[in-house]
Amino acid sequence: MRKRVAPRVSSAVRGHRRIICVTASAALLVPLLMDRSADTGTPADQRLQDDYTAAADEYHVPRSVLMGVSYLQSRWDSHPGTPSVVGGYGPMHLVDTRKSPPPQAPDASARPRAVAAGPPPSHDATPPAQPAAQSADLQRAATLTGLPAAQLRTDDAANVRGGAALLAATQRQLHKPFSANPADWWDAVARFPGTSDPGAAATYANDVFDVIRRGAERTTDAGQHVILTASPGVRPHAPATQGGPRPKNVECPPELSCSWLGAPYVRINDDRYGNHDLADRPKDQRIDYIVIHDTEAPLASMLLTIQDPEEASWHYSIRSSDGHVTQHIKTKDAAWHSGSQFINARSIGVEHEGFLRHPDAWYTEQMYRSSARLVRYLAKKYQVPLDRQHIFGHDNVPAPTEDSIPEMHDDPGPFWDWRHYFDLLGAPLRATAGPNSDVVMILPDYTQYKPRFTGCAKPGVPCAPHGSSAVRLHSQPADDAPLIQDPGRRPDGQDSTEDVNDLGSRVSAGQTFAVADRSGDWTAIWFQGHKAWFRNPKAHPTAVGARGRVVTPKEGLKEISVYGRALPEEDAYPEGVDEQPESPLPYSLRAGQRYVTQSRVLGTYVDRSSFGDAPAPVVKGQEAYYEIQFDHRLAYVRASDVDVVNPPAAAAPPGHTATAP
């Protein structure tokens, strides 16, 4: 049992008793904390809720402010014993600058990233460094509370208390009243993350107050059920603070902290150039996709990589510690980021600082929120649908050819919280049909669903239990049945495994599939030409009913080919542009099988074999394809090979509106 922290009055607050005595009784309008040393009868999963109440009462900070800040810092998760990349701990993400950050180098099995600097970069402004001093400083919180720093790192109650002490101290320094009105704490909240960028600080505070207005409820990674009741009337008079002048090249929403560090477009020799393609999108080619990556390297090395013309490239980088965005390539141009030239020509690539094996240290809430703001802005600008066939991970990019399948990447991995990410995008993943519908959306409860993975620390060694977006697939409706095998990913015949990087037998939150069968607590979907089973109990479902169009082979066709790219027909290629060979993937879509589609595209190809001052022409065909969710990755089938049907959907569950995607 963890040690409980008895309430104590800090010196920072003691001097304010005269100011706050008249408001103390009504400060929070919530029950006061009872003696924590006695058995209060508080359920074990509600202790963190009591911790917020106790700390808010002790330091006379409105509880909604304390909880709102904590939600922005960590979503109330404690990540027991695991510091973030900047050494942040606990629900308040208090930063201990005296502790070394977690290891930042990938292990030998992680995909490599070159760090050669290359030629001088083209840039208007380099991304600002993370400030050394943090307002959420753990050592300062230890001084204010009188508690050992080690206790603030490991004990949730102490950590929350430290956050309350810091907020109270900042309010005192600002000569602001210790008011029961949350709106009076806006300035103190803006200073909590310690950013030196006024625009970023204002965005942070506005996000906190948005949480306060809307309310929140979730079960944390430690199993604590926490509720922040909505306060829609809270409207702080926030100053109209904006960040400094931006580089002219930056394409970013105004509320984000963004900078520019250009990627070079240069000739390397007569045959090669780097590190991206000139284009004129969306005039010459639609932008259909936004691809979510993680760096598998510290951002500092990635900022060197992006300046090397012989390396890969991407459009944006997002820093883990504070969500700062750096743009490298104009969105009209095509970056080399996905492993597929076809996808590159139609997409924007966004890298997130982090390692898929260590999500608690790197996938921070501020990074999620900055990314969602950026992607929402880009999706609106280029009319990209907010669904999982258009906003997807590097691990969902279709291999363009059969021989490229084993080389395709696996980030951001099973611990990226797609459900939360789409909530932030304003396009929640949810049921749109009843549980017995013919189409399902994969949607496990991220914090509660913790499938077994191995390989986070060493190959074959089980990872620590962790919430996940990924659902594992079996060949039969049984836990001990063999996993689904992927002959393309493992052409040597090796079996799929539970390794955190092995995509062969899993699907991910938000992906939609046609139901192939049901048996008790198990559901089967059509997956890569076979029935694939996953546990889907009614009490704790891992998938929900959905509406959607599906494709199936036309009558009389026993099977049809599946492709990793949609190419133009032969007659579409102009003189001087070599026709690209068709390369069907080593799978097939058989008669009677169905796969969900959310878009129809025409075949295109962009030749990138030459270097020049103008974009290469886009070869546009008339051959139509449907993009389908074929397995963990996307794929394409010829429209002429399939019929598109709208399967009947069972009634939507209470509280949900059944609407077609």
Q: Are residues 137 and 285 in the same domain?
A: no
384 near 350, Cβ under 8 Å?
no
pTM assigned to the model: 0.88
Q: Is residue 103 part of a domain?
A: no
Q: Are residues 220 and 323 in the same domain?
A: no
Q: Are residues 155 and 58 in the same domain?
A: yes
Q: Is residue 482 part of a domain?
A: no
Please count the residues of the chain: 661
Q: Are residues 180 and 270 in the same domain?
A: no
Q: What pLDDT does 494 receive? A: 86
Of 3-7, 23-27, 496-500, the range with the highest mean pLDDT is 496-500
Q: What pLDDT does 492 receive? A: 82
The last residue of one of the domains, among 358, 386, 414, is 414
Determine the Cα angle at 443 with ends 437 and 449, to 5°. 130
Q: Please give the Cα distance from 477 to 471 (Å, whole number).
A: 14
Comparing CA positions, the residue from 73, 96, 83, 92 lying closest to residue 149 is 96
Q: Are residues 221 and 297 in the same domain?
A: no
Q: Are residues 159 and 53 in the same domain?
A: yes
Q: Is residue 193 part of a domain?
A: yes
Q: Please give the Cα distance from 437 to 110 (Å, whole number).
A: 39
Residues spanned by the domain of 569: 553-645
The last residue of one of the domains, among 164, 196, 228, is 228
Comparing CA positions, the residue from 155, 31, 193, 160 lying closest to residue 91 is 160
Strands (DSSP E) contained in 397-539 are 439-442, 470-472, 506-508, 512-519, 522-527, 530-535
Q: Please give the Cα distance from 559 to 178 (Å, whole number).
A: 71
Q: Please give the Cα distance from 372 to 413 (Å, whole number).
A: 17
DSSP structural state of residue 25: G
Strands (DSSP E) contained in 512-651 are 512-519, 522-527, 530-535, 543-545, 549-553, 559-561, 588-590, 595-606, 618-629, 634-638, 642-645
Query: What share of the chain in percent tops pLDDT 90?
Result: 75
- Judge whether residue 229 has pLDDT over 50: yes
Q: Are residues 169 and 66 in the same domain?
A: yes
Q: Is residue 301 part of a domain?
A: yes
What domain count does the chain have?
A: 3
The last residue of one of the domains, among 399, 414, 429, is 414
More confident residue, 628 or 13: 628
| CATH number for 359 | 3.40.80.10
Q: Is residue 434 part of a domain?
A: no
- Judge whether residue 131 has pLDDT over 50: no
Q: Are residues 351 and 386 in the same domain?
A: yes
Q: Are residues 24 and 145 in the same domain?
A: yes
Q: What is the pLDDT of residues 196-219, one digit of tens each?
A: 888 889 999 999 999 999 999 999
Whether the bond between 101 and the residue before it is cis, its omega within 30 degrees of 0, is no
Work out whether the CA dihedral 221, 226, 230, 234 comes out positive or negative. Answer: negative
Average pLDDT on 272-285 reads 95
Q: Is residue 451 part of a domain?
A: no
Kindly tell me the burial class for residue 119, based on how many C-beta atoms sit within 10 Å of its own C-beta (0-12, 13-18, 19 or more).
Answer: exposed
Bridge pairing between strands 88-89 and 391-393: unpaired
Q: Is residue 401 part of a domain?
A: yes
Average pLDDT on 220-234 reads 95
Average pLDDT on 487-503 reads 90
Q: Is residue 523 part of a domain?
A: no
Residue 48: pLDDT band (50, 70, 90) is very high
Q: Are residues 350 and 284 in the same domain?
A: yes
- Judge whether residue 3 has pLDDT over 70: no
Q: Are residues 217 and 339 in the same domain?
A: no
For residue 326, what are the β-bridge partners?
Answer: 259, 317
| CATH number for 139 | 1.10.530
Q: At what angle do helices 63-74 and 198-214 cross, to 10 degrees?
A: 120
Q: Are residues 37 and 89 in the same domain?
A: yes
Q: Count CA atoms within 13 Å of residue 147 on its CB side.
A: 28
